[in-house]
Copies of this chain bind each other. A is one copy, B any other.
Amino acid sequence: QQNKQTEPKTISLGILERLNAGEVVVGDGGYVLQLERRGYVKAGHWTPEAAVEHPEAVRQLHREFLRAGANVLQTFTFYCSEDKLEISGNVTNITGAQINEAACDLAREVANEGDGLVAGGVSQTPCYLNSQNETEVKAIFKKQMDDFLKKDIDFFMAEFFSYVEEAVWAVEVLKTSGKPVGATLCISPEGDMSGVPPGECAVRLVKAGADIVGVNCHLDPLTCIRTVKLMKEGLEKAGLKAHLMIQPLGFHTPECNHSGYLSLPEFPFALEARAMTRWDVHKYAREAYNAGIRYIGGCCGFETYHIRAISEELAAERGFLPPASEKHGLWGAGLQMHTKPWVRARARREYWENLLPASGRPTCPSMAKPDDE
């Protein structure tokens, strides 16, 4: 029976055990953009104080991702270094440590509702941009790591780095914990912001100790796959091995350059028309899988149902459907009972795979001119 949910395995394995065994690991989606829309994150600041202020909102989003098939829940700790919190000026009377710890508890609580792993996340710092001072930047990462180590996390994720150098520093710090470390850059196929090509970036990260490398955010899925492929080639040429991961945008950004979707005129408040459909995600998940990537998730713009679409596309490879598929007919099967005959005719894979969706915006263009051109 196609739509039956198989129970996920009950003995919890670590992230590396899973990847080493060749399993597909489904990541979670984007927190900051989604929680901005839900009313808990301030655009422009993008800081994660909601973990303290509105834990129910963060908990619910974690739960949705878990239910959609995510194997990993990242702590909601984006931009949660003290220097960033201070600059943003949005958070008062709450320390970074409080947020980091609350976020770990939330992720752990929900992960335990299923078979989820918790990844403690750190990201780029203003300090690096301002000083490039290795000692200072590493101290920031150390402080965050220590917050996490008070709690029960499974591994570390260093993500959203524009410069591989800063990511390397993060990895070097996090490796001292003894836990597995993943590292993703928000870069284009052109390389990082100082021009280091993706293959070379991957090599540096792995040499620094990263167990899993890849890209996240800033560009759309097909572009990110190209970048990860270049990382893979670089590692192979260097005779190195690492697991590959990808967490792209949930938006179509075909015209973007180096600086990604920040340069689009629609960023961040008019990106709706660029949002991927679940069918776009099916295609992405398949291509990522075919490229040899086994840790497949999403970043900004990836909503709950996009993660479910990854899980459904790779159901055969994983051996089960996620819990949320009990409320989703595969490839539109739920439409078979609709009252309108033309809607019933859409209850099939071929229809959705070939649809070219209209925007309903006839006075709008289909492509924009990025501001970094």
Contact = CB atoms under 8 A, between A and B. Distances in A.
Max chain B C-beta neighbours (<10 A), residue from A323, A357, A358 = A358
A329 B43 contact: yes
Interface stretch (A131-139, A181-189, A237-245, A362-370): A362-370
A332 B268 CA distance: 9
Copies of this chain per assembly: 4
Interface in A58-81: 60, 63-64, 67-68
Interface string A333-373: 11111111011001100001001111111111111110110
Interface stretch (A114-122, A201-209, A302-310): A302-310
A252 B359 CA distance: 7
A303 B168 CA distance: 39
Given A259-B340, A272-B277, A340-B259, A364 B358 contact: yes
A361 B366 contact: yes
Contacts of A36: 305, 327-328
Contact of A265 (B254, B338, B357, B366): B357
A263 interface: yes
Interface in A26-63: 36-45, 56-57, 60, 63
Given A45-B334, A269-B352, A335-B44, A366 B357 contact: no
A251 B128 CA distance: 42
B352 A270 contact: yes
B352 A358 contact: no
A38 B60 CA distance: 10
Contacts of A41: 327
A317 interface: no
Interface string A272-310: 111111110000000000000000000000011100100
A324 interface: yes
A83 interface: no
A176 interface: no
Contacts of A364: 356-359, 365-366
Nearest to A342: B371
A272 B252 CA distance: 11
A112 interface: no
Given A272-B277, A277-B272, A251 B360 contact: yes
30 contacts: A36-B328, A38-B64, A39-B64, A39-B323, A41-B327, A44-B336, A44-B337, A56-B63, A57-B60, A60-B60, A87-B337, A252-B359, A255-B362, A263-B340, A270-B279, A272-B272, A272-B275, A273-B273, A273-B274, A273-B357, A273-B358, A273-B361, A342-B372, A356-B364, A357-B361, A357-B364, A357-B368, A359-B364, A364-B366, A365-B366
Given A36-B328, A39-B328, A57-B64, 14 more contacts: A37-B304, A39-B305, A39-B308, A39-B323, A42-B329, A267-B346, A269-B332, A270-B355, A275-B275, A357-B368, A358-B366, A360-B366, A360-B367, A367-B367
